[in-house]
Structure 1
Amino acid sequence: MTRILHALPLLFLLPAEAQTLPVNDYPTEARADYVFGCMAANGQTPDALRRCSCAIDVIATILPYDAYVSAETVLAMRQTSGERSTLFRDTAPANGFVADLRRAEAEAEILCF
């Protein structure tokens, strides 16, 4: 309890925007992976880096990380062949995960590109 009380004054030293930011639940590796893929599709330029970084930030504000992972898993499994991939193509939950990601990506496209 005393540690919390000692750290409380430090909160006021943070810039105002840092105090109001939502919790970042996307790990750095996931954000970097998205940016690398986005830049591969949009060019390896500083402008693409800025826009792709913006896009994953927007997606992270819309879609919880667990939902993002579920959608990415569905999309990866749809790329495989065989009977198991059918489970990820023709089910409502799988389609829902992908639809949520696509909506978040559309919002990011509007705001960042």
Structure 2
Amino acid sequence: MKTFLIAGVFSIAFGVPSIAQTVAERLNDYPTEARADYVFGCMAANGQTRIMLSKCSCSIDRIASILPYEKYVEAETVLSLQQVGGERMSMFKGPQMNQAFVADLRRAQAEAEILCF
């Protein structure tokens, strides 16, 4: 308790970001470009309407609240490499670790679809 009080006073006195800002930054760790890319892809697949813009934006916000950006990038990378043919890319189609990245993203997308669409 005393540590939090000292940290709060220190942050107010010296302009250090507060604990609330740290949480907000953690929840908003997806770069704008990544969010926009997701929304453009979502709208291309589902329709170019204002309603779909809202639903797709909701979807990436929900995914971002569930999955840290680093894990999102890992899963997207695995998915894009799985689409490439050839022997060299076969290593990305099988290992369980790769599938775990994709499974986490799929679960986040499923929750986002239920809540946003």
TM-score (norm 2): 0.80
Q: Does 2:110 match 1:106?
A: yes
Q: State the AA in 1 paired with 2:87.
A: E
> How many residues in Structure 1 have an aligned counterpart in Structure 2?
105
Give % identity. 61
2:30 is paired with a residue whose SS is coil
- Provide structure 2 residue ranges, at least 5 long, that are not aligned to the other structure: 1-9
| CA distance in structure 2 between the aligned counterparts of 1:49 and 1:71, rounded to whole angstroms | 23
Cα distance in 2 for partners of 1:87, 1:50 equals 37
The SS at the match of 1:44 is coil
Q: Which amino acid aligns with 1:5?
A: A
**1:85 positional shift:** 1.6
Question: Structure 1 stretches (4+) deviating beyond 3 angstroms?
Answer: none
How is 1:1-113 mapped onto 2 (pairs within 5 angstroms)?
Answer: 4-5=12-13, 7=15, 21=24, 23=26, 24-113=28-117
Aligned mates of 1:3, 1:21 — CA distance in 2: 16
Aligned-residue Cα RMSD (Å) equals 2.5
Change in 2 beyond 3 A, CA 1:39/1:5? same
2:6 maps to what in 1? none
Structure 1 unpaired stretches of 5+: 12-17
TM-score (norm 1): 0.83
